[in-house]
Amino acid sequence: MTLYYRPLVQIGPTRPDAALPLAGGLGWFTHVEVLSRSAPGRIIEADQVPEAYLVRLTAARPDIAGLSLARPQIMGILNTTPDSFSDGGQHAGIGDAVAAGQAMQADGADILDIGGESTRPGATFVAPQEEINRTAPVIAALRAAGMDLPTSIDTRKAAVAEAAVAMGANLVNDVSGFTFDPGLAPFCQKHQLPVCVMHAQGKPETMHLNPQYDNVLLDVFDALERQIAALEAVGVPRGAILADPGIGFGKTQDHNLALLARISLFHMLGAPLLLGVSRKKFIGTIGQAPDPTERAAGSIAVALAGLSQGVQMIRVHDVRATRQAVALWHAAYFGSIL
């Protein structure tokens, strides 16, 4: 019987002597929830966790794209698409995209994530050259304008990643979890690029149509473990991999909530965690905000809940409001400014 160990994360400066650090970050834990597919969860003390898993839970995560994961990092979303669910068409022009990227930097983003293919439910495939035309010139223009933030290319295609990296991108964020283009992982290994591997069930065109899981938490964990192992097999080290459970990607509202409630399980992957919930449908449903642009408060609430379970990076549209919220979240827990 396979067992899974979810740390019961606590945040704050006062720790019991027996407390263990969580992934070298702000959190700590003294107990874990033991989960399996065949028995109810149970709580045990942390020192009862097998050593190999305990190392994964406690080891400090290496920097990603020059960013320390000992504190929360904010990834600003810069879509250069005409059809993204929240901001489609707003940054389709290079000038508009550069201005938006500069504004996010001024507002406190730590990294920008630039995408040229919408992956909202029901989105259609974009040809690689069109995706390159939407993203590579924007990255080049940001660099020419003096942008020094790390930049991620949000793509599942090797050709798009190659063009973006040539223009100055530092990280590859693949919503397919490196299952779409077999050339993408070797490209990242060759150029020693950090990556983000996300879980999605199905393709964007159809992933919203009745997604099914035996146990969504454990199924998503196992899928990410397999994909991280596949990346390691081609030479991408685990320390260069962000893991994203893919909230909203082939998941119902109940699936999303089950993942969020126990997202600290994913620290058992031994990789830093990225959480992307910004403006998503379930936030609008629960928060009674049909307009995606009115979902900042709900998005921030979920992001802070993720930080309280030790998530290292949050992917957001509303950078300024999120930066303010994270600063106050830290101040309230630690009595100091982040």
**Active-site residues: which are they?**
280, 315
Angle at 176 between CA 174 and CA 177, to 5 degrees: 70
Give the tokens for residue 120: 């909202």
Do 264 and 7 touch, CB atoms closer than 8 A?
Answer: yes
SS3 of the chain: helix, strand, coil, percent, to 5 = 40, 15, 45
Distance in angstroms (rounded) separating the CA atoms of residues 304 and 227: 27
Burial profile 239-249: b = 16 or more Cβ within 10 angstroms, e = fewer: ebbbbbbbbbb
Identity of the residue numbered 26: L
147 half-sphere exposure, CB direction, 13 A CA radius: 30
DSSP three-state, residue 291: coil
